């Protein structure tokens, strides 16, 4: 069970794809939603913040309760709540109802997101780095699938409401699949959840990993959320073209993670991240200057490769370096990642309203520069 693909691995891949759908569906449909509900750039970016507003609180509560209730209950409940939230979004007639519905999606996403990665470690404790990269590769694969399918449906004239109902059905089916599987037995930790939280918070290295997760997720969200709107605003093309930018970015992320999984047995994860940060700076600094669709596609592809390894590699490095409970550690790191993923699109939307959407894309190279600095600090800590 620890060294081969199991049904629970496949379910986890499906869970990652549903989580990806929850993260990209608003971005794909944003121009149509904005027209229906009459919202600005800042309000549009704020929808992602709203989706993740309760995300972090829910993940922390899951961390306190998971050892008592088990991962299966939280993961399946999360998928069912996501299905309900998607369905509610599809019937929204006002911005307020839309936001409330997205919050329900966020609660469900938080429960599922908190425990997918720790579940992979439970299944493959001796090969967690490899299998984390494989499993998290299905997040960008989910983004690709959603971008391709939803972009095509929008181009054919289907309503964004139909798209949210398709997402609801996918979340429900995945939840039922998880519900029918047996989860691995995990040895209970002798310390209470609150003691484990305090133990982790006291570690200086944890904060380096946490800030790195915040920044890496922010860079991913920046391009995922605003690429279609960038194409629509500056490159003037059909919904399919904007969705294709998201698909290319996600495809290169999936490729990057699978390639990193293969390299992880021969090259240190930290080395992979250093070269990724350099590539990210070079590619993203040119993004705001893209004047043709082809150029934009090439740049987002390179950015996708650059950002791909950070989330799984940071988790694997943290689990290796910090000798603490991996479930609690992954939940806390994911909280910081989700905070970055939720706040960055809103911040870019504010910049887009006061300056231009193009200007807000300069945030991305700045993030890669800060990641480079944090990687250097981590290396210095290791040497000490």
Between these two residues, 44 and 359, which has the higher pLDDT value?
359
**Whether the predicted pLDDT of 70 surpasses 80:** no
More confident residue, 274 or 130: 274
Note whether residue 259 is domain-resident. Answer: yes
Span 157-197, pLDDT tens digits: 899 899 999 999 999 999 999 998 888 766 555 556 677 78
What secondary structure, in 3-state letters, does the chain show?
CCCCCCHHHHHHHHHHHHHHHHHHHHHHHHHHHHHHHCCCHHHHHHHHHHHHHCHHHHHHHHHHHHHHHCHHHHHHHHHHHHHHHHHHHHCCCCHHHHHHHHHHHHHHHHHHHHHHHHHHHHHCCCCHHHHHHHHHHHHHHHHHHHHHHHHHHHHCCCCHHHHHHHHHHHHHHHHHHHHCCCCCCCCCCCCCHHHHHHHHHCCHHHHHHHHHHHHHHHHHHHHHHHHHHHHHHHHCCCHHHHHHHHHHHHHHHHHHHHHHHHHCCCCCHHHHHHHHHHHHHHHHCCHHHCCCHHHHHHHHHHHHHHHHCHHHHHHHHHHHHCCCCHHHHHHHHHHHHHHHHHHHHHHHHHHHHHCCHHHHCCHHHHHHHHHHHHHHHHHHHHHC
Does some domain include residue 2?
no
**What pLDDT, in 10s, does the model give residues 188-227?**
555 566 777 888 888 888 999 999 999 999 999 898 888 8
pLDDT at 1: 43
Higher pLDDT among residues 372 and 111, named by residue = 372
328-368 confidence digits (pLDDT tens): 888 888 888 888 887 888 888 888 888 888 899 999 999 99
Tens digit of pLDDT for each residue in 127-159? 766 788 788 889 888 888 887 888 888 888 899
Does 290 reside within a domain? yes
- pTM of the predicted model over 0.75: no
Distance CA 143, CA 154 (A): 16
Average pLDDT of the chain to the nearest whole number: 83
In the chain, % of residues over pLDDT 90: 25
Instruction: Provide the domain limits for residue 15.
Output: 7-383
Total count of domains within the chain: 1
CATH number of residue 108's parent domain: 1.20.1250.20
For residue 361, being part of any structural domain is answered with yes
Answer yes or no: is 45 within a domain: yes
The reply to whether 134 falls in a domain is yes
């Amino acid at each position: 069970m620890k060294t081969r693909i199991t049904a629970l691995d496949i379910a986890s891949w499906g869970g990652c794809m549903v989580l990806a759908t929850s993260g990209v569906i608003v971005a794909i449909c944003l121009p149509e939603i904005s027209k229906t509900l009459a919202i600005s750039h800042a309000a549009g970016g704020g929808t992602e913040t709203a989706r993740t507003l309760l995300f972090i609180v829910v993940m922390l509560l899951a961390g306190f309760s998971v050892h008592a209730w088990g991962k299966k209950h939280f993961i399946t409940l999360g998928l069912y709540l996501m299905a309900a939230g998607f369905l509610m979004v599809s019937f929204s007639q006002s911005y307020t109802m839309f936001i409330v519905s997205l919050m329900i999606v966020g609660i469900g996403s938080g429960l599922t997101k908190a425990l997918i990665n720790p579940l992979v470690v439970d299944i493959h404790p001796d090969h967690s780095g490899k299998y984390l990269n494989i499993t998290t590769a299905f997040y960008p694969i989910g983004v690709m699938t959603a971008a391709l399918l939803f972009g095509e449906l929008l181009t054919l004239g289907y309503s964004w409401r139909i798209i949210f109902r398709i997402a609801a059905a996918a979340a429900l089916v995945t939840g039922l699949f998880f519900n029918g599987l047996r989860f691995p037995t995990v040895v209970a930790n002798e310390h209470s959840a609150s003691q484990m939280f305090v133990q982790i918070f006291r570690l200086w290295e944890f904060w380096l990993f946490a800030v790195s997760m915040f920044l890496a997720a922010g860079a991913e969200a920046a391009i995922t959320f605003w690429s279609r709107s960038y194409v629509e605003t500056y490159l003037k093309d059909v919904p399919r073209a904007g969705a294709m930018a998201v698909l290319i970015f996600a495809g290169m992320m999936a490729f990057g993670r699978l390639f990193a999984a293969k390299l992880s047995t021969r090259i240190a994860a930290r080395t992979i991240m250093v070269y990724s940060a350099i590539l990210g700076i070079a590619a993203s600094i040119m993004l705001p200057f893209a004047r043709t669709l082809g150029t934009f596609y090439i740049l987002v592809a390179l950015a996708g490769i650059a950002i791909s390894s950070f989330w799984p590699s940071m988790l694997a490095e943290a689990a290796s370096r910090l000798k603490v409970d991996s479930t609690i550690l992954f939940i806390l790191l994911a909280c910081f990642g989700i905070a970055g993923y939720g706040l960055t699109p809103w911040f870019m939307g504010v910049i887009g309203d006061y300056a231009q959407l193009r200007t807000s894309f300069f945030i991305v190279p700045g993030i890669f520069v800060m990641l480079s600095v944090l990687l250097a600090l981590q290396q210095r800590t290791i040497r000490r």
